[in-house]
Amino acid sequence: MSAPVRVLIPVGFGFNAEDETAAAFRMVGAEVDQVHLTDLFARRQPRPIPQYQVVAFVGGFSYGDHVAGGLVAATRIRAHLRDDLSAFLAGGGRLIGICNGCQVLARLGLLPGPEEGPPDFEARLDLANNDRLGYRDAWVRLGVDRKSTCVWTRGLSTIQVPARHGEGRFVLGSQAALDRLEHRGQVALRYLDTAGKPTEAWPDNPNGSTGGIAAVTDATGRILGLMPHPEAFLYPWQHPDYSRRKKEIEAREPDGLAIFRAGVTGF
């Protein structure tokens, strides 16, 4: 029997939802360590980062989202953990960033990353304010892009999870950069309208991202950054239509849990 996948969840300084994310990984058979960023910066952790198979940056409001969402956390992580994360990724590690964690990965330069070669920690992607200013909390429908190379969405097609953010509009430097991202299969998830089509329109797309982009991956497919919250749909009864569609919803694994299961499969 193979050893469980080991997962590291950095915590503290305004990150939250770490318990839900840890529960998700444990439900799919992984072992989880939650370690405060202060301890990671000081190298006080159960094992070195490269000895984990997965690192998960969770949602919340790290450092109060001062300046911009995830920017301060990304700056400190780059200063203290760049070499550790480089070694972790060089060894085949997988990363997921959820909401504020997605903002961290983008501003850390790990998403979308360079077109080839190891991570260079140069930011190429921003998460701007929602088109309709303000924080929106609602369930969304997401479609997996057929060209996506992302390991976290393997075997999935359409999923439903909550989205709750005020700063989640994916912005790249140019249309050419966006075209390259789409051509290379690095758009992992898109917001869908009621007809199942990618949409930029509110409220099905809560932030107005071009092309309905809700999640992106890196060139290897091992790093996923998504603004919606898969850790908030781990049990059938969490679905808002559960009381009316109980049998239908219970007939399949909750969509959020399916993302975590895909992420720990194949090691």
Of 18, 20, 200, 231, the catalytic one is 231
Alpha-carbon separation of residue 8 from 4, 30, 129, 224, 227 (angstroms)? 13, 10, 29, 15, 20
Residue 80: active-site member: no
Residue 99: active-site member: yes
| Dist CA 16 CA 99 (whole Å) | 10
Of 20, 150, 200, 229, the catalytic one is 229
Tokens describing residue 206: 């809560």
| Dist CA 190 CA 215 (whole Å) | 7
Answer whether 103's CB lies under 8 Å from 167's CB: yes
Residue 150: active-site member: no
Of 99, 150, 165, 239, the catalytic one is 99
| Dist CA 116 CA 11 (whole Å) | 30
The catalytic site residues sit at 99, 229, 231
